[in-house]
Amino acid sequence: MAAGYSLAKALKTVRKARGLSQEAFSDVSSRTYMSTLERDLKSPTLSKLAELCEVMDVHPLTLLTLAYAGDSAQQLNKLLEQVRREAEGLGIHSD
């Protein structure tokens, strides 16, 4: 499943869709760090990912899902269904 995955691409896509520059993250990150993330030279920790997502006003799971789905709506729906099935298999049921 991870063959086409790109957190770097998803991060850049969401940042641009929100109309944010790399400098907009200055409270949580440097422009240089953002650039290295978007060029896939580094990977953020989960806590850093949460901070970046807060600036972009998206849930971290949204960013991760987009990283795996790319720009395919079909793949996005497939992943969301998989998450739902796996959560139910763990005893977490939707109401």
- In this prediction, residue 95 has a pLDDT band, given cuts at 50, 70 and 90, of low
**HEC assignment per residue over the chain:** CHHHCCHHHHHHHHHHHCCCCHHHHCCCCCHHHHHHHHCCCCCCCHHHHHHHHHHHCCCHHHHHHHHHHCCCHHHHHHHHHHHHHHHHHCCCCCC
The class of domain 2-89 in CATH terms is mainly alpha
Provide the pLDDT for residue 89.
93
pLDDT tens digits along 17-71: 999 999 999 999 999 999 999 999 999 999 999 999 999 999 999 999 999 998 8
In the block, tokens 């949580």 appear at 28
Domain locations in the chain as residue ranges: 2-89
